[in-house]
A and B are shown apart, each in its own frame.
Chain A
Amino acid sequence: MIHVSKKRLDMLSAWIVPVALLGSWFCLYKLEGSHNSFVTDPLRVFGMLLRNWSAFVQNAWLSMCRLFGGVVLGTIFGAASGLALARVARLRVLFSPTLQTLSSIPFMVLIPFFLMVFGFGEVFRVSVITASTFLLVNAQAFHAVRQLNPDYFELAAIYEKSSWQLVKRVLVPASLPAIVGALRFSLLLAWLAVALAEKAVAEWPNGGLGYYILRAKEQGQFIDMFASVIVLALLAWVFDQVVGRLQRQVSRWCDTVEAVDAREGQV
């Protein structure tokens, strides 16, 4: 009998569902493809992927840069402002109600406003993603600090910690799991934000993957659309894996099921 280690088995199991989905797509095409033009041939989609590889890579790279830049900026600004708001009552009074209200607005409606402020260009695209990340990270970092045991701040006061030491040894490590959690969640939104931002500033051929998808959809080129969706899904998966690893790393101290599993080397 072939011996397969548990870890390898877990890795293999992860492929079952995607392969099954591909299989059912294939079956669906075989059954319906002849009389329904919305069901595309998976083989032709993958063929398109291989044929136009360089175009996909180029567009994906552009989108990835925008996404990365926006998400990093949004996380830094969001975390810094969240921590500051949590600690300074005056800032809270000034900004919290506005931020709270902005968070409840779907950010898509803000796109025209951003266009007005930043113009039709790269700054606009990145700023849309920054804003969508900012609001989420800001709220999570804020709450992580507000939920802390007040004794920690008394302990820091007894040991005469400077503000900088308080940030470094208490505020940042305490809120990092929440910040990275928010970052991971906001990545899902960010892909949507990329697509919408790229759509708003239509540019060919450097529109980016999001623009590519939406354009293909409008022109009814479903093969092109599906091919780029596959690229986007792969990219999203890679980003999520990387951030997930980061999340496990900064959450090792937490009292959660996930942290316990991570300490014991479980999935």
Chain B
Amino acid sequence: MTYLEVKIDKMQYSDTPHFVQNRGLRKFLGLAPIKKNRVLIEDLAIHVEKEEVISFVGPSGVGKSTLLRILAGLETRFDGNVNLGGKSIKSPSRRIQVVFQDNCLLPWLDVEGNIAFAIRDGDHTTREQKTREWVENVRLSDKAKAFPKTLSGGEASRVAFARVFIAPPEVLLLDEPFRAVDTITKEGLQDLLIQFADKPNTTIVLVSHSIDDAVFLSDRVIALAGSPPTPTTPACPLHILEEFPVTLTRPRERKNKEIFELAERVKEKLRAAAH
């Protein structure tokens, strides 16, 4: 049964700034507006089941992050709709939370403050205790009062993870969450994510550059393609190249041969599409 559904009929992207198009001197002289719109997404439909973990993989610049922003309700300039449990999503809410690409920690709040930012306003009773608990869960007790500027990439990622886990969403969207972290930290974060995924009523959508990570974590990997126009080829809107179901049972072994083989198949497909 479909739980999260995104259906995009058309999303356009304007290459020329608004003021060039129809204001200023051009308008004064009565010239036609410059139109350089390009279709970014056309006729794309993605269905996610409840408690499923899916990954988007594909080359940089294909529109993976845009897709994630649409799912979060942060991007609404498109024709189509996003449905969560039968209800249309029109604006961001805490039902669908995001781990941003650059973690998006508020630089003026310390580690505790950033984690507590996710707690509902006015919920003072458990605020301190919950925050302390999650500071410990991500092993940052000695950095509880540190500002984001002083944190390493891995520490910042851990804060971003704690911020979404402290007030768990129904759908968690992650935009390349393991990009700036070392292997050991990455494994720790992935374990946290798997723990979270095992809980009831949690659906996860992941954007990843690492296909091995995507296969290891997901129930389904969706390979995406699409390209901006080049002098020799026309633009190609974002579309699904192929869906790869991952049928392995959990818990999974990181060094599993099947994971490795499936990842190779995904890579092969992406390589073929790149030519």
Contacts and interface: CB of A to CB of B under 8 A. Distances in A.
Interface in B72-97: 72, 74, 91-94, 96-97
Q: Is the interface of A mostly helix, strand, loop or mixed?
A: helix
Interface string B99-115: 01010101111100000
A258 B28 CA distance: 49
B72 A158 contact: yes
Interface in A142-168: 149, 151-152, 154-155, 157-162, 165
Interface residues of A, number: 23
A158 B100 CA distance: 12
A20 B102 CA distance: 52
Contacts, number: 57
Given A158-B72, A173-B108, 8 more contacts: A151-B100, A155-B106, A157-B92, A160-B120, A165-B121, A169-B117, A253-B109, A259-B149
Given A151-B104, A157-B91, A253 B121 contact: no
A253 B97 contact: no
Given A152-B104, A165-B121, A170-B106, A159 B74 contact: no
A218 interface: no
A162 B108 contact: no
B108 A253 contact: yes
A152 B106 CA distance: 7
Interface centre among A149, A154, A155, by most B CB within 10 Å?
Answer: A155
B149 A162 contact: no
B106 A157 contact: no
Contacts of B100: 151, 155
Interface in A220-257: 252-255
A54 to B, nearest CB: 46
Nearest to A152: B106
Given A158-B92, A253-B149, A174 B118 contact: no
Interface in A161-205: 161-162, 165, 169-170, 173-174, 176
Contacts of B110: 253
Interface string A62-97: 000000000000000000000000000000000000
A163 to B, nearest CB: 11
Give the interface size bracket for B toward A: 20 to 34
Contacts of B148: 253
A155 B104 CA distance: 8
Nearest to A160: B94
Nearest to B148: A253
A160 B118 CA distance: 9
Interface centre among B92, B102, B118, B120, by most A CB within 10 Å?
Answer: B92
A161 B167 CA distance: 14
A144 B106 CA distance: 14
Contacts of B107: 253-255
Contacts of B109: 169, 173, 253
B121 A158 contact: no
Contacts of B238: none
B204 interface: no
B91 to A, nearest CB: 7
Contacts of A157: 74, 91-92
Nearest to A176: B108
Interface string B227-245: 0000000000000000000
Interface centre among A158, A165, A170, A255, by most B CB within 10 Å?
Answer: A158
A153 B93 CA distance: 13
20 contacts: A151-B102, A152-B106, A155-B104, A157-B91, A157-B92, A158-B72, A158-B74, A158-B94, A158-B96, A158-B97, A159-B117, A161-B121, A162-B121, A165-B121, A169-B109, A253-B107, A253-B108, A255-B107, A255-B149, A263-B150
Contacts of B150: 263
A252 B121 contact: no
B3 interface: no
Interface in B36-73: 72
Contact of B92 (A154, A165, A253): A154
A159 B118 CA distance: 6
Contact of B93 (A152, A158, A176, A263): A158
Nearest to B101: A151
Contacts of A151: 100, 102, 104
B176 to A, nearest CB: 14
Given A155-B104, A157-B74, A253 B147 contact: yes
